[in-house]
Amino acid sequence: MNRSYASLSLLSLALGLVLSGCPGDLDDPARFGYEPEGEAGTGATCPSDYDVVADLFANRCGGAACHGEGSAFVDLVSPGVVERVLDQDSPSCSMPFVSSTDPASSYLLRKTTDSPGCGSQMPLGGSLSAVEQACLQSWVESLASGSGPPTAMDAAADAAMDAAADASAEDAAGS
């Protein structure tokens, strides 16, 4: 009796550990290491409507303990991301998050590879899909060249600052 009880307990414990360690849900198959057909290899392309800040950083990097607003690490989700990463050195590795002179050596790109050269691969406990990596690469290159559109969050923040500046200018002109 004790032997079967011990076996049943061990089986229950193992099943509980497996079920509690599930890293994602079916709405996010990349969390399971699954890449839909066409994403594997080097031929991945970034969809034109993909917003790296809203779609990648907010969903995969932006937790409060990681790279969200108020975290101890670089904030990748709040308005002003471009200013925080473009030609700004990582405090832990002394290399720019996004290098305008050598985008391929940018820290953000290196950190998402198997061998980042400094610290651990990001995101912790996983990796980006080929499409996510292609989108990050494209975003970094567009920032480095100065041709990239701002993210939706940065555009909203810029619009709010422009409106405030216009209001101040009108107030000053009316005085």
Residues 31-41 as b or e (16 or more Cβ within 10 Å = b): beeebeeebee
pLDDT mean over 139-157? 67
Report yes or no: 12 and 5 within 8 Å, Cβ to Cβ.
no
Q: Report the pLDDT value the prediction gives residue 151, as an integer from 0 to 100.
A: 47
- Say whether pLDDT at 77 is over 80: yes
Residue 170 pLDDT:
63
**Total count of domains within the chain:** 1
Report which of 164, 162, 160, 142 is spatially closest to residue 53, judged by C-alpha positions.
142
User: Per-residue pLDDT tens for 18-40?
Assistant: 333 334 444 454 544 444 434 44
Residues listed for the chain: 175
pLDDT at 18: 36
User: What is the pLDDT, as a whole number, of residue 137?
Assistant: 92
Average pLDDT, the chain: 72
| Cβ-Cβ contacts under 8 Å for 55 (sequence gap 6 or more) | 135
For the record, the structure tokens of 16 come out as 């509980």
Determine, yes or no, domain membership for 24.
no
What residues contact 98, with CB distance under 8 A and at least 6 apart?
85, 86, 87, 88, 106, 107, 108, 140, 143, 144
Domain range enclosing 80: 46-166
159: in domain: yes
Asked if the structure places residue 115 within a domain, the reply is yes
Confidence of residue 159 (pLDDT cuts 50, 70, 90): low
Domain assignment of residue 8, yes or no: no
Tell me: the pLDDT tens digits for 93-138?
A: 889 999 999 999 999 999 988 888 888 889 888 889 999 999 999 9
Residue 146 falls within a domain, yes or no?
Answer: yes
Q: Is 128 part of any domain?
A: yes
Confidence of residue 165 (pLDDT cuts 50, 70, 90): low
Q: Tell whether 7 is covered by a domain.
A: no
Residue 18: inside a domain, yes or no?
A: no
pLDDT of residue 94: 87
Checking 66-75 for CB contacts under 8 A at 24+ apart, the result is 66/123, 66/124
pLDDT band at residue 16 using 50, 70 and 90 as cut-offs: very low
